[in-house]
A and B are shown apart, each in its own frame.
Chain A
């Protein structure tokens, strides 16, 4: 992915956009099939086909949209939707620390870059060195990613409409995806206490409020992490990391 058009920041804009599109290919391998899954799930949940592109434009946050399909289909309370969106997408708060927004000068382009700061865009931009980055390359990559996502959703809707009936068990893809993402997050940060805390929270939420287990588990988890922070701050000898 890296290594193209690297040396001079003065490289022509067209080449930089092309480099951005090349950057997006590896991310696209993950985004497009996930888009297909979104389109299929939208139809399986009994929703209209346009819910897939509408979600992809309103949210542009893959895993959250897959979750929202289920919530919309069961008309979950708006408060539950709001808290889920907030907690699930909260990780984006941390991307601002190292995302190269300062490269983008044009106001509309800046707004788009922030709106389209998905996990994949963050990861790709983080993999480039400073002299490889430019506004045109960043935007080329982000717009490509959104096209893969919306296009994948439409392809999924088309495939779903062509199928004779719903595929029993397809929604397991979401469970498999989150399991894989958990494994990857675990590899990069040895985080056994967090994992155990999260599982305790989920079990407690499942027993106490089975109807709103996700919401309660996430709130409980954040509360426990804040408590953990307070406890470890009070004991100055203990260091913060994992």
Chain B
């Protein structure tokens, strides 16, 4: 458990930056709306950022349990297959994907 000062700093930073990102655009709305670069970033950013986050989370999963990269790949495939095959129900896809990884990682094979 990190010390309280560090935790307080993280919480304060998170609160301030998140609130500013949500609030400042309302104040600048007019000029932002006309900005071509902002409109383009709105279209270009989300999928790439989410993909980077997915890759980062994948990496920390297999770092936490060394030797499970194949399990993680199988679980990733299950997540994608369930999501595309069973009507894009987020909770179902995440639940089954996670269950597959947890089951494999605790099965005792391999690692």
Contact = CB atoms under 8 A, between A and B. Distances in A.
B51 to A, nearest CB: 5
A176 B79 contact: yes
Contacts of A92: 18, 21-22, 25
Contact of B61 (A86, A115, A172, A197): A172
Q: Tell me whether chain B's interface is mostly helix, strand or loop, or mixed.
A: helix
Given A199-B55, A214-B52, A191 B17 contact: no
A102 to B, nearest CB: 9
A63 interface: yes
Q: Tell me whether chain A's interface is mostly helix, strand or loop, or mixed.
A: helix
B65 A168 contact: yes
A237 to B, nearest CB: 15
Report, as a range, how many residues of chain A touch the other chain.
Answer: 35 or more
Interface in B16-52: 17-19, 21-26, 29, 32-33, 36-52
A17 interface: no
B26 A101 contact: yes
Nearest to B56: A214
A172 B43 contact: no
A96 B11 contact: no
Would you list the 6 A-B pairs with minimal beta carbon distance, nearest first?
Answer: A198-B48, A96-B25, A178-B54, A169-B105, A176-B97, A175-B57
Interface of A: 29-30, 33, 46-48, 51, 54-55, 58-61, 63-64, 67-68, 70-73, 75, 78, 81-82, 85-97, 101, 114-115, 117, 167-187, 189, 191, 193-195, 197-199, 201-202, 206, 213-214, 217-218, 221-222, 225-226, 228-229, 233, 240-242
14 contacts: A58-B12, A60-B18, A67-B56, A86-B17, A88-B49, A96-B32, A97-B32, A169-B61, A189-B43, A198-B47, A198-B52, A202-B51, A225-B48, A242-B43
Interface of B: 1-2, 6-7, 9-15, 17-19, 21-26, 29, 32-33, 36-61, 64-65, 68, 71-72, 75-76, 79-80, 83-84, 88, 90-91, 93-95, 97-98, 101-102, 104-106
